[in-house]
Amino acid sequence: MTIFTPKTEDEIVEAVQWALSENAPVEIVGHGSKRNLGRPLQTEHTIALSEYSGVTLYEPDELVLSAKAGTSVAELETLLEENGQAFQFEPMDYGPLLGQAAGQGTFGGLLATNLCGPRRLKSGSARDHVLGVRVVSGRGELFKSGGRVVKNVTGYDLSKGMANSWGTLGIATEITFKVLPAPETETTLVVRGLADDEAARAMAIAMGSSGEVASAAHLPLNVSGRVIDGDLKGDASTLLRLEGFAPSVNDRAAMLKGLLVSAGTIVDISGDTSRKLWQEVRDVIPFADGTEQPVWRVSMVPMEAYKLVASLRMGAAVDAFYDWQGGLVWLRMEGEPEAEAVRALIKKYGGGHATLVRASTSVRAALPVFEPQPVPLAALSKRLKQQFDPSGILNPGRMVAGV
């Protein structure tokens, strides 16, 4: 078992070329701090990017930041914050949910897992903000794609191709992202006491209004008490986040309160408490319980997702809460993962996909962690993998068994 910790791009290329010449599959990790989750890998060797780190370009006026792949996301976020900026897509931190320390993720891992957060509907995910990449492919060749400017259609967008590829296509060495000013003010309106279906309707009304709602989440009764130190316990909470310049936030808050006047009691949470609330929703703190109870991340059509939860509840003990206007469901199963039931219900209710983000190693080895694809699409994905990594040496089996 060898762990390569390259310190230069050349060393990353060399490590892959070595793996190729030895026909020895390698696992790609950022910090590799949370490796005991996802589809377990059986590679003997590891390439860890943690020592290939550092910011290579940051021009706040140009809204652009480049860094080496092993740079810690937490460090980048601190740098941005000092300049009044942020990654607008709010990359979540899986650490707490996976029973690890927070703040361990790397820049490369952020892109490879296409992280995002509660602003997903309005501001997209990592794939919507990446501008350029340098990558070492499974052929041991360094290529680049994209650039440092926002408007760019020169050639295929291989930067997006790296998003959600889980280190199976190539090793990103250096990545360029668009950054944006952090919102000046934020406030959250909390509608109390809605059932899941009522919440879905209220969120749809809010998101479809001119209130420019940045995020909409729903915490059912038994989840509501597990955020911001229990301040919201006692009733379900439907959360609507408003961001921007203060006069605008206040105006929109008043407008939305009028629009939702018949929905239920509405309370305001502002400033740092609001920020903490959304960070806890983002990082799935309600299920960060230190256990290995199965947790699903399900992306569905917003107005359908609550039906999946209701149906599941008829046959199994589940805990659920919703982000993205209801379209992102975090499900914690009290017993088995019930993969077949979950996936059948997704198909029944308008389609989408489910990823088993937490479960014991044996469960993850036995189940497709990622949503299985229809045959032609799976074949296309496999062909793409072959074009980047013909010898199958990068993270084999990470996403799909045998690929």
Partner 1 sequence: MSGLLMPKADDATMSRRSDIVTALRAIVPGEGVVDATNAMRVFESDALTAYRQLPLVVVLPQTVAQVSRVLKYCHENNVKVVPRGSGTSLSGGALPLEDAVLLVMSRFNQILEIDYPNRVAVVQPGVTNLGITKAVEHEGFYYAPDPSSQIACSIGGNVAENSGGVHCLKYGLTANNVLGLEMVLITGEVVRLGGKHLDSEGYDLLGLMTGSEGLLGVVTEVTVRILQKPATARALMVGFPTSEQAGKCVADIIAGGIIPGGMEMMDRPAIHAAEDFVHAGYPLDVEALLIIELDGPVVEVDHLISMVEAIAYKNGASTCVISQSEEERMAFWAGRKAAFPAVGRISPDYLCMDGTIPRKELPKVLAGMRELSEKYGLRVANVFHAGDGNLHPLILYDANIPEELHKAEDFGADILRLCVKVGGVLTGEHGVGVEKRELMPEMFNEIDLNQQIRVKCAFDDKHLLNPGKVFPQLHRCAELGRMHVHRGQVPFPEIPRF
Ligand X SMILES: Cc1cc2nc3c(=O)[nH]c(=O)nc-3n(C[C@H](O)[C@H](O)[C@@H](O)COP(=O)(O)OP(=O)(O)OC[C@H]3O[C@@H](n4cnc5c(N)ncnc54)[C@H](O)[C@@H]3O)c2cc1C
Binding site residues, ligand X, CB under 6 A:
28-35, 37-38, 49, 69, 94, 104-106, 108-110, 112-113, 115, 166-167, 171-172, 297, 355, 357, 369, 395, 398
Choice between 8 and 291, CB closer to partner 1: 8
Out of 212, 231, 289, 292, the residue judged to bind partner 1 by CB under 8 A: 212
Query: Which secondary structure element, helix H or strand E, spans residue 234, and what is its range?
Result: none
Report if residue 78 touches partner 1, rule: CB under 8 A. no
Helix axes 339-348, 302-315, angle to 10 degrees: 140
- Token output for 85: 């900026």
33 binds, among ligand X, partner 1, none (CB under 5 to 8 A by kind): ligand X
Residues in 336-365 at the binding interface with partner 1, rule: CB under 8 A: 350-353, 355
Count of CA atoms in the C-beta half-sphere (13 A) of 181:
7
Out of 157, 174, 319, 338, the residue judged to bind partner 1 by CB under 8 A: 157
Sequence-separated (6 or more) residues with CB below 8 Å from residue 374: none
Report if residue 75 touches partner 1, rule: CB under 8 A. no
Choice between 61 and 82, CB closer to partner 1: 61
Out of 222, 335, 386, 401, the residue judged to bind partner 1 by CB under 8 A: 386
Cα–Cα distances in angstroms (integers) from residue 127 to residues 116, 217, 272, 354, in the given order: 9, 22, 28, 19
180 binds, among partner 1, ligand X, none (CB under 5 to 8 A by kind): partner 1
Choice between 116 and 219, CB closer to partner 1: 116
Residue from 274, 298, 282, 261 nearest 183 by CA: 274
Cβ atoms within 10 Å of 263's Cβ, excluding its own? 19
Q: Which stretch binds partner 1 (CB under 8 A): 101-109, 178-186, 261-269, 308-316?
A: 178-186
The residues facing 28 across adjacent strands are: 47
Choice between 360 and 391, CB closer to partner 1: 391
Report if residue 102 touches partner 1, rule: CB under 8 A. no
Choice between 314 and 383, CB closer to partner 1: 383
Q: Residue 270 in 3-state DSSP?
A: strand
Residues in 256-295 at the binding interface with partner 1, rule: CB under 8 A: none
Report if residue 301 touches partner 1, rule: CB under 8 A. yes
Count of CA atoms in the C-beta half-sphere (13 A) of 329:
31
Report if residue 114 touches partner 1, rule: CB under 8 A. yes
Question: Phi and psi at residue 268, in whole multiples of 5°?
Answer: -105, 140
Choice between 55 and 204, CB closer to partner 1: 204
Give 282-336 as a DSSP string. HTTGGG-SSS---EEEEEE-HHHHHHHHHHHHHHS-EEEEEEGGGTEEEEEESS-
Q: Which stretch binds partner 1 (CB under 8 A): 31-39, 190-198, 215-223, 241-249?
A: 241-249
Shortest distance (Å) from residue 48 CB to ligand X: 8
What does the alpha-carbon distance between residue 374 and residue 125 come to, in Å, rounded to a whole number?
24
Cβ(369)–Cβ(356) below 8 Å: yes
